[in-house]
């Protein structure tokens, strides 16, 4: 079992930045693909970004491409999401997820473990 804990959310003005962190409970995530998803009030959860087990490959939703950067540090069991140029429409609960099959994908069904989420609010 893998436990994921997100942190780094908060309230920020439009145009500002936040860095989300995801701490994993076991070293085995070094072989897992990792993803970030988000869910805004009244909307379905949506894909934000994913990173391969090695960090060599990344994948972004069009809505965040060029503004968000995903990274990982397998030695520390950590995954990060650097969010720049934040917009009010980025307001959501952000979730970290782990895929044991290490498939770089936007499909929620591929992810086996999920964190509890961290709230990001962007004020206009």
pLDDT tens digits, 33-66: 999 999 999 999 999 999 999 999 999 999 999 9
Coil, strand or helix at 77: coil
Taking the CB of residue 44, how many other CB atoms lie within 10 A of it? Answer: 7
Average pLDDT along the chain: 95
Q: With 80 as the cut, is the pLDDT of residue 97 above it? A: yes
Q: Round to whole Å and give the CA distance between 99 and 94.
A: 17
Instruction: Please tell me the predicted confidence (pLDDT) of residue 27.
Output: 64
Mean pLDDT of all residues in 94-114: 94
d(CA 117, CA 5): 8
């Amino acid at each position: 079992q893998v436990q994921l804990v997100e942190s780094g959310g908060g309230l920020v003005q439009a145009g500002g930045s936040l860095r989300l962190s995801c701490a994993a409970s076991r070293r085995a995530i070094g072989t897992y693909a990792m993803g970030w998803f988000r869910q805004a009030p009244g909307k379905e959860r949506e894909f934000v970004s994913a990173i391969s087990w090695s960090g060599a490959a990344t994948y972004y939703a069009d809505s965040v491409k060029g503004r968000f950067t995903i990274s990982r540090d397998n030695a520390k069991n950590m995954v990060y999401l650097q969010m720049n140029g934040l917009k009010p429409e980025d307001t959501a609960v952000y979730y970290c997820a782990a895929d044991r099959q290490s498939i770089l994908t936007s499909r929620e069904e591929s992810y086996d473990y999920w964190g509890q989420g961290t709230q990001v609010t962007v004020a206009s």
